[in-house]
Amino acid sequence: MALAVADIIARCRAALVEHTPALAVRDVLDELVADGSSQSVLADALGPVEIGGITPLYNGDDLTILRVAWTPGMALNPHEHRMWAVIGMYGGQEDNAFYRRAPHGLEPAGGKELPAGDVLVLGDDVIHSVANTRRDFAVAVHVYGGDFFRVERSEWDFGTYEERPRDFERTRQLFDDANARWSEEQQRSG
Ligand SMILES: [Fe+2]
């Protein structure tokens, strides 16, 4: 039987009542991304990706579920979530870089490549940036233990590590620019 978006939401909601919700959500996503191919049940349920962006599947006080597709060549500057997050990759690969707070902004603290089929759990205080260096969309289901769009938090400039309030308009612009570049590139090579 085909997986529906409602099933994804129901499974994540059920995980919230477990002792450690983030780990329970990880188990849910582990199962859903298991085959890691374009034939994954998530690809079937959520449909093809034609443009990079953030698609909310569910947004409540205690849970947010997004489909996130990073456009080839794009990078999102360092940011925090102030809630746990679980990322389940089912297409392409996202490269995570981690940071810690430092007296004058941030300092790098390692990284993790996340190919399709992998699931990553991020604690409440994680600061990361994300890049898609490949030539296909990096596609994942992101689950957050709170209201992703309402909680106040910070982002940092890639170059200067200057801290500022998280700005979704800026993120939208990043996607728009990356999508425009990518479609131009596709047309040129067309
Ligand atoms: Fe993030």
- In this prediction, residue 22 carries a pLDDT of 98
Smallest CA-to-CA distance from 9 within 53, 56, 43, 69 is with 56
Region 12-22: mean pLDDT is 97
DSSP letter, residue 141 = E
- In this prediction, residue 122 carries a pLDDT of 98
Distance 81 CA to ligand 1 centre (A): 6
Average pLDDT over the chain, rounded to whole? 94
Tokens of 149: 């769009």
Tell me the pLDDT tens digit for each residue of 69-102. 999 999 999 999 999 999 999 999 999 999 999 9
Distance 152 CA to ligand 1 centre (A): 14
Distance 105 CA to ligand 1 centre (A): 18
- In this prediction, residue 153 carries a pLDDT of 95
Distance 188 CA to ligand 1 centre (A): 32
Smallest CA-to-CA distance from 144 within 36, 4, 25 is with 25
| β-strand partners of 53 | 69
3-class DSSP state of 111? strand
Distance 155 CA to ligand 1 centre (A): 10
Smallest CA-to-CA distance from 78 within 147, 142, 126 is with 126
Tell me the pLDDT tens digit for each residue of 43-78. 889 999 999 999 999 999 999 999 999 999 999 999
Report the predicted TM-score, pTM, of the whole model to 2 decimal places.
0.94
First to last CA, the chain: 37
